[in-house]
Amino acid sequence: MNTLLSLQGRHALVTGGGRGIGAAIARRLLSHGASVTLLGRDAATLAATADTLAEAVVSPAMLCTVAADISQADSVAAAFADAAGKAGPIDLLINNAGQARSAPFGKTDLALWQSMLEVNLTGTFLCTQAALPHMLANGWGRIINVASTAGLVGYGYVSAYCAAKHGVIGLTRALALETASSGVTVNAVCPGYTETDIVRDAVANIVRKTGRTEAQARAELAKGNPQGRLVQPDEVADAVAWLCQPSASAITGQSIAVAGGEVMAG
């Protein structure tokens, strides 16, 4: 455990908390003393992840789970009320849940387009609206959107995903200005290709469509990173935890790439 416990007494809700980056973020926030709610669509996955995080918890009350579909307003409202009832109002919101599907633009149908916007952008909007009123009333809060380098630059064959993640960056910047004098900060963390289920699915897709080996497919994804590797979930979690700190109060409206130098701010 972190002996400083800098987030003790704070309640964090992590969407997409059942695996990958979300689970890594939850572990890191627990180590700083925060209570954490894992939110996701699959209750069984959430429960399994909670079991693996149990050793990082001083008290069972510090960790709970709630199932919801973040693209549906009623589901979000019910889940956030449930989480607040279990662990108190939400002080730290980590909008991490997301999906990535690829297709050439000409084969991107309306269903794919809407699904990417609903999960990656509308879900961020709905969860933020659910959490923000308490933060404003309390004069303190942290909203961190796990976007992507796809929100900072363009990538071929993922136009819907890129559009959604660019939307998340725009939302981050606009809301940061609205809340600048309130004690609430709003930032985005933008991972490059990270060792997650999304990347494993991308590797499988490359193998299936091109006949390359898994190693070749992974190397293709990693070569965009000047460090020549995939980002690890714990590296993203460290950036998120830093932005959650009380000492990060002057940092708002930023989109921080965690990508080995792939994207650099001008």
What is the distance between the alpha carbons of residues 230 and 224, in angstroms, rounded to a whole number? 9
> CA distances (Å), 231 to each of 166, 191, 227, in order?
20, 7, 9
What is the distance between the alpha carbons of residues 147 and 202, in angstroms, rounded to a whole number? 17
What is the distance between the alpha carbons of residues 146 and 172, in angstroms, rounded to a whole number? 10
Task: Check if the beta carbon of residue 85 is closer than 8 Å to that of residue 3.
Answer: no
What is the distance between the alpha carbons of residues 18 and 196, in angstroms, rounded to a whole number? 12
What is the distance between the alpha carbons of residues 169 and 262, in angstroms, rounded to a whole number? 17
> CA distances (Å), 74 to each of 68, 71, 88, 103, 133, in order?
9, 9, 20, 30, 17
What is the distance between the alpha carbons of residues 153 and 169, in angstroms, rounded to a whole number? 11
Helix, strand, coil percent values for the chain (each to nearest 5): 50, 15, 35
Whether 161 is a known active-site residue: answer yes
Per-residue three-class SS string for 71-85: CCHHHHHHHHHHHHH
Q: Of the listed 155, 157, 161, 193, which one is catalytic?
A: 161
- Which active-site residues does the annotation give? 161
